Every structure is written in structure tokens, then in C-alpha cells.
């Protein structure tokens, strides 16, 4: 027979899974049976305290009036206004910028024609009189 139950064996009894030897010892030993009863009583008191605390918390939560969330229409309308403003700016810019770019495109074309004329010469301007003396075949 065992002298007294260890804490692991007591835990097995509390969980309801004692071995046959441990169960028989609890029936025979008054000290171990009293220890088991004290532990169960302590668990019962703890369970009661937890339930009371939980009930108090639930009652307190129910006594607080629920505030309805305020609609976010002002913020949403502000965002919508900014989005519409940006869309309007983009539309206006798409019509205005191509007209201004047309003037620059014509001056760019004139510059490119001048560069093309300079590059397409066979000889520099200072050498052109000499080129007339040379017979071209």
C-alpha cells in the first residue's frame, strides 16, 4: 500500500482518472480523502468567485447605455469633394496643355530643320568656294 498520494496522484483523482491503486488508497486513507475534499472545496469556492465576478462584469456592461456610432458622412463628403476637385483639375489640364504645347512644337520643328540643313552639307560653309573648283563626277 502507498504511504500517501503525491500531487500528481491527487490531480488524477480531481480529474476523475485515478488508477485502481490510487482509488483504493483514497477509500482507505482518511488523510488523503480529507486532502482531496479540501482541494475540491477550494476549487468550488474559486468557481463561485469566478462566476460572481463574471456576473458583476456582465451586469456592469449591461448598465452602461450603448452609444450609437455617429455616421461618418462629413468625412466621406470631404473625401468625395477632394476626389471631384482632382478629377476636374485633370480634365481642365488635359484640354489646356495640348494647345500650349502646339506653339512649342512649331518652334522645335524650325530648330530641327536648321540643324538638318547644317548637318546635310557636304562641306562647311567656308569651304564651299573650293568645292566649286573641284569637278564633281
The predicted pLDDT at position 77 comes to 77
The proportion of the chain whose per-residue pLDDT surpasses 70, expressed as a percent, equals 81
Neighbouring residues of 5: CB distance < 8 A, sequence distance ≥ 6: 13, 22, 25, 26, 29, 32, 35, 36
- Cβ atoms of 51 and 74 within 8 Å: the answer is no
Q: What are phi and psi of 28, to 5 degrees?
A: -90, -35
Please say whether the dihedral angle defined by the alpha carbons of residues 100, 103, 109 and 112, taken in this order, is positive or negative.
negative
Share the mean pLDDT of the chain: 80
Residue 137 lies in a domain: no
The answer to the question of residue 51 being in a domain is yes
What local confidence, expressed as pLDDT, does residue 23 receive? 87
pLDDT in tens, 18-66: 888 888 888 888 988 898 888 889 888 999 999 999 998 888 877 777 6
Distance between CA 63 and CA 9 in Å, rounded? Answer: 46
Domain enclosing residue 91, as ranges: 85-119
Question: Could you read off the pLDDT of 69-108 as tens digits, one per residue?
Answer: 666 566 677 888 889 999 999 888 887 776 555 566 677 8
Residue 133 lies in a domain: no
Amino acid at each position: 500500500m502507498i504511504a500517501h498520494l503525491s500531487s500528481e496522484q491527487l490531480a488524477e483523482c480531481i480529474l476523475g482518472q485515478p488508477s485502481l491503486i490510487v482509488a483504493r488508497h483514497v477509500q482507505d486513507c482518511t488523510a488523503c480523502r480529507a486532502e482531496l475534499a479540501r482541494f475540491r472545496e477550494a476549487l468550488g469556492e474559486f468557481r463561485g468567485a469566478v462566476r460572481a465576478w463574471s456576473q458583476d462584469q456582465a451586469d456592469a456592461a449591461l448598465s452602461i447605455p450603448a452609444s450609437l456610432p455617429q455616421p461618418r458622412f462629413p468625412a466621406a463628403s470631404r473625401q468625395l469633394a477632394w476626389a471631384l476637385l482632382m478629377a476636374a483639375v485633370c480634365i481642365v489640364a488635359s484640354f489646356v496643355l495640348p494647345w500650349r504645347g502646339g506653339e512649342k512644337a512649331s518652334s522645335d520643328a524650325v530648330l530641327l530643320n536648321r540643324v538638318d540643313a547644317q548637318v546635310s552639307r557636304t562641306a562647311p560653309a567656308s569651304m564651299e568656294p573650293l568645292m566649286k573648283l573641284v569637278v564633281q563626277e
